[in-house]
């Protein structure tokens, strides 16, 4: 996992080295390139070394044609591609990428992993600027006249060009907890869309696949999950697992082969803490249980906003960063997590059940379920426009399409930042094209009933943890912010209203 920066804007110069380092170095504490001028561009790379952690593979990395690549992420099938295409043994995914990306008709779909990639020719032309299929790795850009600046963190762009917060984005934050349509919090800053190359085209579109879906013969779910989880454990450094009382992380726990260290966190008395303490005692597992206090939470909360230069989406980001710091002290550099299952297999029970059993689809009703605040007419029209574009899908598939296109990238962004802030790479084994395609083979009644979603995963976990655990109700994230921020008991603000207010107070200090 890394931080990347590239700019051909003449306003960017060596004087920005400290600023870029300040906001990108945390993404790659093992090595940073400094701000270099190569091929008419200023480039910077900070590296968290996971695969082939030798200085030889630090970046910017020169390809055989004289172009350079800046790369953030992991390519898990690099050994197979090396053998299949080049008939050679390559020990670094960076080196494999440098060889395959220069081939004629390069197709990013051959890469199995998550990534943001920038490639610049020796003449100074931007040849590739792409992001992985589901948006695991962030990539932002800012255009000034005909110049372009690209960064893993929007904070760099904000501070170099002295950009203001977008009122449109902050309004989206108030409604959705993130700027799901605007793309960033800052005026003029956009995000490269998942599955898209900025200078070429979209190479992977899950919505198109949803529209064409057919109920094909299902694979053996156990074999598929084991295969995907195994690949996501490829690493030359120690790994751990973010463990909770949910079904997703426990599926990974039972199917993983290399993970021996588990990490859990929360406030005293939280259900996840209780579950992990019991599991640790009964199974003698190496579970690091982090009980967080309000002062820790507030200190980390303020520090993260200062580093990100943005409001945080949910309190869980703070928790994850604290847990990540604990993992780093134990020499862990990679943490696996269960994200993605809720989007692919309808884990947001209430809204998916409504979509499954409603007779007619109402956008306003959908917004009542999804939005955290009253939606305005502008954002309502944007949501209506999206659903009008998929009018032929079933109500169930419409909701799944929305969650995959708009909700999942935001979820992944907050996991990426919160763990990277601690110098930890986050991996989501359940987010892969294979798992996505497999989830589409199930009919809605095979995934959701009137009480539960994610039925295929729940039924699978029964074999390991029994039906009572696998089919218990979904437990929310129990953070009482009024206690943390020591609000008066007469305060009538909801948890979300207080969260929104405290975040805005902090970004005003930036």
- Residue 349 lies inside a defined structural domain of this protein: no
Q: Which pLDDT does position 493 carry in this prediction?
A: 84
Verify that 321 and 439 share a domain, yes or no.
yes
Q: Which pLDDT does position 77 carry in this prediction?
A: 96
CA angle 179, 430, 358 (to 5 degrees): 65
CA 287, CA 15: separation in Å to the nearest integer?
45
Q: What is the pLDDT of residues 425-456, one digit of tens each?
A: 999 999 999 999 999 999 999 999 999 999 99
Q: Are 320 and 326 in contact (CB under 8 A)?
A: no
Structural domain of 13:
2-204
Secondary structure string (H, E, C) spanning 193-222: CCCEECCCCECCCHHHHHHCCCCCCCCCHH
- Residue 55 lies inside a defined structural domain of this protein: yes
CA 496, CA 480: separation in Å to the nearest integer?
10
- Residue 508 lies inside a defined structural domain of this protein: no
Mean pLDDT of the chain: 94
Q: Are 187 and 166 in contact (CB under 8 A)?
A: yes
DSSP 15: G
Verify that 48 and 178 share a domain, yes or no.
yes
Residue 237 has a CB neighbour count (10 Å cut-off) of 15
Closest CA to 184 of 51, 286, 310, 273: 310
Q: What is the pLDDT of residues 206-259, one digit of tens each?
A: 999 998 877 778 889 999 999 999 999 999 999 999 999 999 999 999 999 899
Closest CA to 354 of 340, 368, 374, 342: 368
Q: Which residues pair with 336 in a beta bridge?
A: 241, 427
Verify that 127 and 180 share a domain, yes or no.
yes
CA 258, CA 139: separation in Å to the nearest integer?
30
The DSSP result for 341-353, as a single string, is HHHHTT--HHHHH
Verify that 17 and 122 share a domain, yes or no.
yes
Helix, strand, coil % in the chain, rounded to nearest 5: 45, 15, 40
Q: Which of 204, 231, 260 is the last residue of a domain?
A: 204
Number of compact structural domains in the chain = 3
Q: pTM for the full model?
A: 0.96
Q: Which pLDDT does position 87 carry in this prediction?
A: 83
Verify that 395 and 451 share a domain, yes or no.
no
- Residue 27 lies inside a defined structural domain of this protein: yes
Verify that 314 and 177 share a domain, yes or no.
no
3-state DSSP assignment of residue 292: coil
Verify that 186 and 328 share a domain, yes or no.
no
Verify that 474 and 371 share a domain, yes or no.
no
Residue 154 belongs to domain with CATH number: 3.60.20.10
Q: Which pLDDT does position 229 carry in this prediction?
A: 96
Q: What is the pLDDT of residues 140-180, one digit of tens each?
A: 999 999 999 999 999 999 999 999 999 999 999 999 999 99
Q: Which of 171, 204, 237 is the last residue of a domain?
A: 204
Verify that 276 and 393 share a domain, yes or no.
no
Q: What are phi and psi of 433, to 5 degrees?
A: -65, -35
Rg of the chain on CA atoms, in Å: 22
Report the greatest alpha carbon distance in the chain: 70
| pLDDT band at residue 295 under the 50/70/90 scheme | very high
Verify that 272 and 411 share a domain, yes or no.
yes
- Residue 482 lies inside a defined structural domain of this protein: yes
What is the mean predicted confidence (pLDDT) over 293-304?
96
Q: Which residues contact 283 (CB under 8 A, 6 or more apart)?
A: none
3-state DSSP assignment of residue 240: strand
Q: Using CB atoms within 10 A of its CB, is residue 240 exposed (0-12), middle (13-18) or buried (19+)?
A: buried
pLDDT at 487 over 80: no
pLDDT at 349 over 90: no
CA 153 to each of CA 70, 170, 310, 445: distance values in angstroms, whole numbers, following the listed order: 14, 18, 10, 41
Verify that 26 and 143 share a domain, yes or no.
yes
What is the mean predicted confidence (pLDDT) over 487-494?
73
For the four alpha carbons of 481, 486, 492 and 497, in that order, the dihedral sign comes to negative
Q: Which pLDDT does position 88 carry in this prediction?
A: 86
Residue 401 has a CB neighbour count (10 Å cut-off) of 21
Q: Which pLDDT does position 478 carry in this prediction?
A: 62
Q: Which of 140, 169, 204 is the last residue of a domain?
A: 204
Verify that 450 and 440 share a domain, yes or no.
yes
pLDDT at 488 over 70: no
| pLDDT band at residue 482 under the 50/70/90 scheme | confident
Residue 467 has a CB neighbour count (10 Å cut-off) of 11
Q: Which pLDDT does position 476 carry in this prediction?
A: 56
pLDDT at 383 over 70: yes
Q: Which pLDDT does position 90 carry in this prediction?
A: 93
CA angle 62, 64, 67 (to 5 degrees): 50
What is the mean predicted confidence (pLDDT) over 314-335?
96
- Residue 281 lies inside a defined structural domain of this protein: yes
**Pairing state between β 261-266 and 425-427:** unpaired
> How many CA atoms are closer than 13 Å to the CA of 286, on its beta-carbon side?
9
What is the signed CA dihedral for 125, 127, 132, 137, rounded to 10 degrees?
Answer: -20
Q: What is the pLDDT of residues 67-116, one digit of tens each?
A: 999 999 999 999 999 999 998 889 999 999 999 999 999 999 999 999 99
Structure tokens at 75: 């390519």
- Residue 348 lies inside a defined structural domain of this protein: no
- Residue 509 lies inside a defined structural domain of this protein: no
Structure tokens at 401: 């399409």
3-state DSSP assignment of residue 497: helix
Residue 311 belongs to domain with CATH number: 3.40.50.620
Q: Are 14 and 38 in contact (CB under 8 A)?
A: no
């Amino acid at each position: 996992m890394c931080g990347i920066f590239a700019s051909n804007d003449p306003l960017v110069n060596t004087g920005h080295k400290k600023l870029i380092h300040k906001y990108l170095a945390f993404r790659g504490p093992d090595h940073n390139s400094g701000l270099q001028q190569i091929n008419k561009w200023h480039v910077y790379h900070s590296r968290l070394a996971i695969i082939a952690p030798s200085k030889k593979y630090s970046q910017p990395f020169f390809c055989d044609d004289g172009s350079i690549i800046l790369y953030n992420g992991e390519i898990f099938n690099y050994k197979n591609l090396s053998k299949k295409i080049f008939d050679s043994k390559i020990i670094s995914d960076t080196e494999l990428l440098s060889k395959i990306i220069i081939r004629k008709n390069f197709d990013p779909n051959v890469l199995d992993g998550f990534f943001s990639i920038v490639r610049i020719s020796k003449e100074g032309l931007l040849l590739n600027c792409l992001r992985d299929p589901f948006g695991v790795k962030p990539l932002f850009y800012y255009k000034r006249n005909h110049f372009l600046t690209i960064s893993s963190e929007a904070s760099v762009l904000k501070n170099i060009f002295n950009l203001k917060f977008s009122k449109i984005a902050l309004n989206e934050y108030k409604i959705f907890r993130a700027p799901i349509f605007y793309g960033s919090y800052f005026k003029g800053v956009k995000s490269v869309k998942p599955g898209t190359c900025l200078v070429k085209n979209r190479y992977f579109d899950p919505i198109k696949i949803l529209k064409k879906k057919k109920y094909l013969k299902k694979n053996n779910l156990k074999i598929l999950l084991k295969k995907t989880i195994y690949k996501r454990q490829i690493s030359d450094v120690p790994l751990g697992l973010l463990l909770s009382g949910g079904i997703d992380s426990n599926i990974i726990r039972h199917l993983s082969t290399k993970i021996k260290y588990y990490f859990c966190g929360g406030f005293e008395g939280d259900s996840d803490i209780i579950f992990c303490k019991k599991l640790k005692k009964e199974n003698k597992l190496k579970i690091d249980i982090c009980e967080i206090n309000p002062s820790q939470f507030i200190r980390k909360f303020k520090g993260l906003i200062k580093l990100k230069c943005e409001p945080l989406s949910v309190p869980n980001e703070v928790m994850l960063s604290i847990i990540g710091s604990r993992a780093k002290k134990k020499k862990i550099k990679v943490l696996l997590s269960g994200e993605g299952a809720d989007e692919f297999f309808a884990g947001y029970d209430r809204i998916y059940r409504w979509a499954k059993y409603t007779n007619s689809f109402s956008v306003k009703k959908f917004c009542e379920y999804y939005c955290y605040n009253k939606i305005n007419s502008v954002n309502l029209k944007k949501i209506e426009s999206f659903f009008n574009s998929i009018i032929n899908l079933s109500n169930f598939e419409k909701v799944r399409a929305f969650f995959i296109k708009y909700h999942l990238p935001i979820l992944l962004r907050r996991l990426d930042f919160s763990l990277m802030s601690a110098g930890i790479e986050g991996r989501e084994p359940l987010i892969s094209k294979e798992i996505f395609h497999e989830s589409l083979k199930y009919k809605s009644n095979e995934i959701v009933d009137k009480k539960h979603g994610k039925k295929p995963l729940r039924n699978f976990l029964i074999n390991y943890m029994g039906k009572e655990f696998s089919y218990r109700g979904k437990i929310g994230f129990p953070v009482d912010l009024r206690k943390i921020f020591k609000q008066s008991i007469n305060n009538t603000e909801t948890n979300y209203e207080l969260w929104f207010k405290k975040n805005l107070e902090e970004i005003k200090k930036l």
